[in-house]
A = this chain, B = another copy of it.
Amino acid sequence: MPRRQVAPTAAIRFDVVDGPEATATVTGAVAAIRGRVRTLATVRSIAGDPPQVEIELEVEGVTEDALVAALDGLSEIRAIHRTRALGTVFGKRIIVVGGGAQVAQVALGAVSEADRHNLRGERISVDTIPLVGEADIAAAVRAVADLPRARLLVLAGSIMGGDISAAAEELRAVGIPIIALNMVGSITDHVDLVVSDPVQAGTMAVMAVGETATCVLARQRGRRY
Protein backbone atom coordinates (compact mmCIF):
# COMPACT_ATOMS: atom_id res chain seq x y z
CA MET A 1 0.00 0.00 0.00
CA PRO A 2 1.77 3.23 -1.06
CA ARG A 3 2.07 6.03 1.47
CA ARG A 4 1.76 9.69 0.66
CA GLN A 5 4.17 12.19 2.12
CA VAL A 6 2.65 13.78 5.20
CA ALA A 7 2.56 17.60 5.30
CA PRO A 8 3.62 19.58 8.40
CA THR A 9 1.02 19.30 11.11
CA ALA A 10 -0.17 21.87 13.68
CA ALA A 11 -0.85 20.45 17.14
CA ILE A 12 -2.67 21.75 20.22
CA ARG A 13 -4.21 20.36 23.38
CA PHE A 14 -7.38 21.90 24.78
CA ASP A 15 -10.01 21.52 27.49
CA VAL A 16 -13.59 21.39 26.25
CA VAL A 17 -16.99 20.93 27.87
CA ASP A 18 -17.86 17.26 27.36
CA GLY A 19 -20.88 16.41 25.27
CA PRO A 20 -22.02 14.93 21.97
CA GLU A 21 -21.59 18.24 20.14
CA ALA A 22 -18.06 19.00 21.36
CA THR A 23 -16.01 17.28 18.68
CA ALA A 24 -18.43 18.15 15.88
CA THR A 25 -18.07 21.82 16.79
CA VAL A 26 -14.28 21.55 16.80
CA THR A 27 -14.00 19.65 13.54
CA GLY A 28 -16.44 22.07 11.92
CA ALA A 29 -14.22 25.00 12.93
CA VAL A 30 -11.18 23.18 11.54
CA ALA A 31 -12.96 22.42 8.26
CA ALA A 32 -13.89 26.11 7.96
CA ILE A 33 -10.18 26.98 7.73
CA ARG A 34 -9.61 24.06 5.32
CA GLY A 35 -7.56 21.99 7.75
CA ARG A 36 -7.52 18.18 7.73
CA VAL A 37 -7.94 16.61 11.17
CA ARG A 38 -5.32 13.87 11.52
CA THR A 39 -5.71 13.12 15.23
CA LEU A 40 -8.35 14.02 17.79
CA ALA A 41 -7.71 12.07 20.96
CA THR A 42 -9.22 12.39 24.43
CA VAL A 43 -6.27 12.23 26.80
CA ARG A 44 -7.98 12.98 30.12
CA SER A 45 -11.41 13.48 31.62
CA ILE A 46 -11.80 16.28 34.14
CA ALA A 47 -14.58 15.91 36.70
CA GLY A 48 -16.59 19.04 37.49
CA ASP A 49 -19.78 20.83 36.61
CA PRO A 50 -19.91 20.74 33.67
CA PRO A 51 -17.49 17.83 33.15
CA GLN A 52 -14.71 18.56 30.68
CA VAL A 53 -12.35 16.49 28.59
CA GLU A 54 -8.80 17.31 27.51
CA ILE A 55 -8.22 16.63 23.81
CA GLU A 56 -5.06 16.45 21.72
CA LEU A 57 -5.68 17.70 18.16
CA GLU A 58 -3.40 17.48 15.13
CA VAL A 59 -4.38 19.24 11.90
CA GLU A 60 -2.64 19.11 8.55
CA GLY A 61 -2.60 22.04 6.15
CA VAL A 62 -2.93 24.97 8.58
CA THR A 63 -0.54 26.90 10.78
CA GLU A 64 -0.65 26.60 14.56
CA ASP A 65 -1.65 30.27 14.81
CA ALA A 66 -4.58 29.73 12.44
CA LEU A 67 -5.66 26.65 14.38
CA VAL A 68 -5.58 28.44 17.72
CA ALA A 69 -7.46 31.41 16.25
CA ALA A 70 -10.16 29.14 14.81
CA LEU A 71 -10.83 27.44 18.15
CA ASP A 72 -10.18 30.29 20.57
CA GLY A 73 -13.59 31.87 20.03
CA LEU A 74 -15.65 28.73 20.67
CA SER A 75 -17.57 29.01 23.92
CA GLU A 76 -17.15 25.31 24.81
CA ILE A 77 -13.35 25.54 24.78
CA ARG A 78 -11.81 26.55 28.09
CA ALA A 79 -8.03 26.36 27.60
CA ILE A 80 -5.65 25.85 24.68
CA HIS A 81 -2.03 24.69 24.98
CA ARG A 82 0.30 24.67 21.99
CA THR A 83 2.08 21.36 21.62
CA ARG A 84 3.86 19.26 18.99
CA ALA A 85 2.53 16.58 16.67
CA LEU A 86 3.26 13.22 18.30
CA GLY A 87 4.96 11.96 15.14
CA THR A 88 7.70 14.57 15.50
CA VAL A 89 8.38 13.51 19.10
CA PHE A 90 7.83 9.75 19.20
CA GLY A 91 8.08 8.96 15.47
CA LYS A 92 7.66 5.49 14.01
CA ARG A 93 6.55 2.77 16.39
CA ILE A 94 7.82 -0.80 16.63
CA ILE A 95 5.24 -2.89 18.50
CA VAL A 96 6.36 -5.96 20.48
CA VAL A 97 3.73 -8.46 21.67
CA GLY A 98 4.11 -11.82 23.38
CA GLY A 99 5.48 -13.50 26.48
CA GLY A 100 7.17 -11.29 29.08
CA ALA A 101 10.60 -12.94 28.99
CA GLN A 102 10.88 -12.74 25.21
CA VAL A 103 9.24 -9.30 24.93
CA ALA A 104 11.84 -7.90 27.33
CA GLN A 105 14.73 -9.31 25.29
CA VAL A 106 13.30 -8.07 21.98
CA ALA A 107 12.83 -4.66 23.61
CA LEU A 108 16.48 -4.71 24.72
CA GLY A 109 17.64 -5.19 21.14
CA ALA A 110 15.13 -2.77 19.66
CA VAL A 111 15.78 0.03 22.17
CA SER A 112 19.54 -0.32 21.70
CA GLU A 113 19.21 -0.08 17.93
CA ALA A 114 16.62 2.74 18.11
CA ASP A 115 19.07 4.65 20.32
CA ARG A 116 21.62 4.58 17.50
CA HIS A 117 19.06 5.74 14.93
CA ASN A 118 17.62 8.47 17.16
CA LEU A 119 21.12 9.81 17.88
CA ARG A 120 21.32 10.52 14.16
CA GLY A 121 18.06 12.47 14.14
CA GLU A 122 15.49 9.76 13.46
CA ARG A 123 12.57 9.10 15.81
CA ILE A 124 11.79 5.45 16.52
CA SER A 125 9.81 4.23 19.56
CA VAL A 126 9.59 0.69 20.91
CA ASP A 127 6.17 -0.08 22.39
CA THR A 128 5.49 -3.37 24.12
CA ILE A 129 2.81 -5.40 25.84
CA PRO A 130 3.26 -8.81 27.48
CA LEU A 131 0.21 -11.00 26.92
CA VAL A 132 -0.76 -14.64 27.25
CA GLY A 133 -3.30 -16.72 25.32
CA GLU A 134 -4.37 -17.08 21.71
CA ALA A 135 -7.42 -14.78 21.93
CA ASP A 136 -5.66 -11.89 23.64
CA ILE A 137 -2.57 -12.05 21.44
CA ALA A 138 -4.69 -12.28 18.27
CA ALA A 139 -6.70 -9.24 19.40
CA ALA A 140 -3.48 -7.31 19.99
CA VAL A 141 -2.14 -8.26 16.56
CA ARG A 142 -5.35 -7.02 14.91
CA ALA A 143 -5.30 -3.84 17.01
CA VAL A 144 -1.83 -2.91 15.74
CA ALA A 145 -3.66 -1.89 12.54
CA ASP A 146 -5.50 0.71 14.66
CA LEU A 147 -2.37 2.23 16.22
CA PRO A 148 -1.18 5.52 14.75
CA ARG A 149 2.43 5.39 13.47
CA ALA A 150 2.81 1.62 14.00
CA ARG A 151 5.31 0.45 11.36
CA LEU A 152 6.24 -3.11 12.31
CA LEU A 153 5.16 -5.85 14.74
CA VAL A 154 7.46 -8.30 16.49
CA LEU A 155 5.82 -11.45 17.83
CA ALA A 156 7.93 -12.63 20.75
CA GLY A 157 6.96 -15.94 22.29
CA SER A 158 7.46 -19.68 22.36
CA ILE A 159 4.25 -20.94 20.77
CA MET A 160 1.78 -19.09 18.56
CA GLY A 161 -0.64 -20.22 15.87
CA GLY A 162 -4.35 -20.62 15.12
CA ASP A 163 -6.17 -17.31 15.21
CA ILE A 164 -2.88 -15.47 15.82
CA SER A 165 -1.71 -16.62 12.39
CA ALA A 166 -4.99 -15.44 10.85
CA ALA A 167 -4.62 -12.08 12.57
CA ALA A 168 -1.02 -11.83 11.32
CA GLU A 169 -2.16 -12.19 7.71
CA GLU A 170 -4.84 -9.51 8.25
CA LEU A 171 -2.24 -7.13 9.65
CA ARG A 172 0.21 -7.73 6.79
CA ALA A 173 -2.67 -7.07 4.37
CA VAL A 174 -2.93 -3.47 5.60
CA GLY A 175 0.79 -3.00 5.04
CA ILE A 176 2.38 -3.67 8.43
CA PRO A 177 5.17 -6.28 8.28
CA ILE A 178 5.81 -8.82 11.04
CA ILE A 179 8.98 -10.38 12.45
CA ALA A 180 8.50 -13.47 14.65
CA LEU A 181 10.89 -15.33 16.86
CA ASN A 182 11.54 -18.89 15.75
CA MET A 183 8.95 -20.80 17.78
CA VAL A 184 6.46 -23.65 17.95
CA GLY A 185 3.26 -23.25 15.93
CA SER A 186 2.08 -22.07 12.53
CA ILE A 187 2.93 -18.38 13.07
CA THR A 188 6.37 -18.72 11.47
CA ASP A 189 4.66 -19.46 8.14
CA HIS A 190 2.61 -16.26 8.32
CA VAL A 191 5.23 -13.57 8.94
CA ASP A 192 7.80 -11.69 6.86
CA LEU A 193 10.91 -12.80 8.70
CA VAL A 194 11.78 -15.37 11.39
CA VAL A 195 14.67 -14.69 13.78
CA SER A 196 15.82 -17.06 16.53
CA ASP A 197 17.64 -14.60 18.80
CA PRO A 198 15.25 -12.08 20.43
CA VAL A 199 17.87 -9.33 20.77
CA GLN A 200 18.69 -9.67 17.08
CA ALA A 201 14.96 -9.73 16.22
CA GLY A 202 14.53 -6.39 17.98
CA THR A 203 17.59 -4.96 16.27
CA MET A 204 16.41 -6.10 12.83
CA ALA A 205 12.94 -4.68 13.48
CA VAL A 206 14.38 -1.20 13.98
CA MET A 207 16.75 -1.59 11.03
CA ALA A 208 13.75 -2.48 8.86
CA VAL A 209 11.90 0.77 9.60
CA GLY A 210 14.95 3.04 9.91
CA GLU A 211 15.76 5.54 7.20
CA THR A 212 19.29 4.22 6.84
CA ALA A 213 18.44 0.59 6.12
CA THR A 214 15.05 0.40 4.48
CA CYS A 215 15.94 -2.63 2.36
CA VAL A 216 16.13 -5.16 5.19
CA LEU A 217 12.69 -6.72 4.85
CA ALA A 218 12.37 -6.40 1.09
CA ARG A 219 15.52 -8.45 0.58
CA GLN A 220 15.01 -10.90 3.43
CA ARG A 221 11.27 -11.65 3.24
CA GLY A 222 10.52 -15.27 4.04
CA ARG A 223 13.99 -16.11 5.34
CA ARG A 224 14.86 -17.55 8.74
CA TYR A 225 17.81 -16.68 10.98
Q: Which residues of A contact B (CB under 8 A)?
A: 1-4, 6, 11, 13, 18-24, 26-28, 30-31, 34-47, 51, 54, 56, 61, 83-84, 86, 89-91, 99-101, 103-104, 107-108, 111-112, 114-116, 118-119, 123-132, 139-140, 142-143, 145-148, 150, 174-175
Contact = CB atoms under 8 A, between A and B. Distances in A.
A135 to B, nearest CB: 11
27 contacts: A2-B46, A4-B45, A4-B47, A4-B51, A20-B36, A23-B36, A23-B37, A24-B27, A27-B28, A39-B40, A41-B41, A41-B148, A43-B146, A43-B148, A84-B139, A89-B140, A90-B129, A90-B143, A91-B129, A100-B111, A104-B107, A104-B108, A107-B126, A108-B108, A112-B130, A125-B127, A126-B127
B100 A112 contact: yes
A43 to B, nearest CB: 5
Given A115-B100, A148-B43, A143 B83 contact: yes
A4 to B, nearest CB: 5
Nearest to A34: B20
B13 A35 contact: no
A142 B20 contact: no
A28 B24 contact: yes
B44 A23 contact: no
Copy count, this protein chain? 2
Given A37-B23, A40-B37, A47-B3, A128 B130 contact: no
Contacts of A119: 132
A103 B174 CA distance: 30
Contacts of A13: 145-146
